[in-house]
Structure formats: structure tokens, C-alpha cells
Structure 1
Amino acid sequence: MKTSTFVYDGDCAFCTRCAGFVERRIPTGARVVPWQFADLDALGLTPAECEEAVQWVGADGSRAAGPDAIAKLLGDSGPLWRVAGAGLRLAPARALAWPAYRWVARNRHRLPGGTAACSLPQEARERLYGPAGRPSAGA
């Protein structure tokens, strides 16, 4: 039987602390693994996707990124966490979650546990947020 996988940026101290919280507090059957140690080809992911957002690859082959991936992870966990995951999938929550997620991704090096290594590479920042740090039209 295949296992679902939640992939995060292992070079980012903030992301690693969040993944540690998941492993300690959220009962999930999913593997929680830094993308640097994951078989990205087998998961159908690219390094660029993994640098930009956390990723979910379900046992059924489904994929999600960012807050949608977090919702999938929560949906694959204990009863209380499943309720939170269901709430995160609601349209109003998603509408708020994506801008919040992008803000966190852009500023993760400034957050508790973050370090300079948490900062997205310049190319990824510009692709996601444009040269002035504002979201690009396609993001």
C-alpha cells in the first residue's frame, strides 16, 4: 500500500520546526519529509515546486501545495485535526489562507525559528512575488 507524503523545505529552520510539530502533535499516516531527502521523481515533484510551497502527494496520486497541502495533511489525521482540515478547504478560508501562506513563505526567515537559510532563492521570490516583492499576476 502506498503512503501519502507531505514534503517541506528541510533547509528552512522555520519549516523544519513546523514539520516537527506535525510529527509530534498531529497523528497522520503520511510521511513528513524534507524535499532534499525525498525521491522527487517518484513523487512527481520538482525542486522549484518544493522551494515555493509545501507539497502533498496522496497515496491515490492526488497533489496539493501550500495551504491546500496542509488541509490534506490535516484531513489525513485525527478527528479534531480533520475538522480543521475541512475548514481550511472551505472557499472563504482558502481565500484567506493563500495570501497568508504567501506572506509566511516570503517572510519565513524572519519568523521564530527562521534563519537566513529560510529565505527563498531570489529567482523563486521574483517568480512568485515579482521584482518588488508583490505577487505576480500568475501567482
Structure 2
Amino acid sequence: SGARLEIVTPERMLGVDVGGMNHVPYARAFNETDTRVTLNQRVRAVRPEGGRLCVEIGSDHSDHRSVRHVDWVVADHGTAATADLYFELKPASTNLGAVDYGALLEGRPQRVTRNPRGEFRLFRIGDAVSSRNIHAAVFDALRLLKDV
């Protein structure tokens, strides 16, 4: 599209939450598109200036600041845990949200039944637990439900 991309992160390395198997495709895409990666920095301020955006970038470790003039800023600050739906559904579940950790560790199906009148099994994973990356949620689901 002709756009240039810069990823700014306060982390000491990019993709801390990206699994190792995904690293190569991401690295290839960034290299092929000349994506600029700025580590140990965060966006400190954004203000309009002359029809563009003036972005101040700085570190948590020093007073150093730099400026970029760009057309767009996309910010991602993660997510907050949202367990409301989990707690709303919990009373109607057969397991009342309980996990059989012995079965989980041994790779056996989850068979906990604490509410025989329940309509479904319910497990608290991903953002219902805490603000986590998608990979953690997918792996939680795979471990819990692989034998369903």
C-alpha cells in the first residue's frame, strides 16, 4: 500500500507474547515491508501539527525523547480482564466452572459435575482470567477441551 510502519514497544524485545513458532513469519513480514521496530520506548504524546501527527517517543529509563511526524497512530494497551460473562454463566453450568486439575495434568477429559441440572460445561480461560495474549487462551482451551 506504500505505507511505512513503525512498531514502538516499551518491552526489551518485540513479541514477548508471540510463540516461537510464529516468530519467523512475523520477522519475514517485517523485513519484507521494512517495518521499523523501536524497543525500550513508548509513545509519550501525540498532537496534531500541520495536517499530520507529531508523536513524542521516550524511554522509561531516561529523559531522552525523539519525535516522529506521521499520518496515523494505532495504540494497543492490551485488554482488561472481563469475567462478567463467565460469572453470569457459571450457575447454569454442570461443573460450576470447576476444573479437575488431576485430569488436566494427565490429559484426561474434564468430567466434574457439581450441578446435574447444568446445561453446559464452563471453563474460565483467556481474558476471563486476566489480560493475556491470545496464545495463552488458545492453549488453555486446547488442554481443557482436546478430549471433548
Q: Normalising by the residue count of structure 2, what TM-score does the alignment of the two structures yield?
A: 0.26
Normalising to structure 1: TM-score of the pair? 0.27
Which structure has greater helix proportion?
A: 1
Higher strand fraction: Structure 1 or Structure 2? 2
Higher relative contact order (CA 8 A, sep 6+): 1
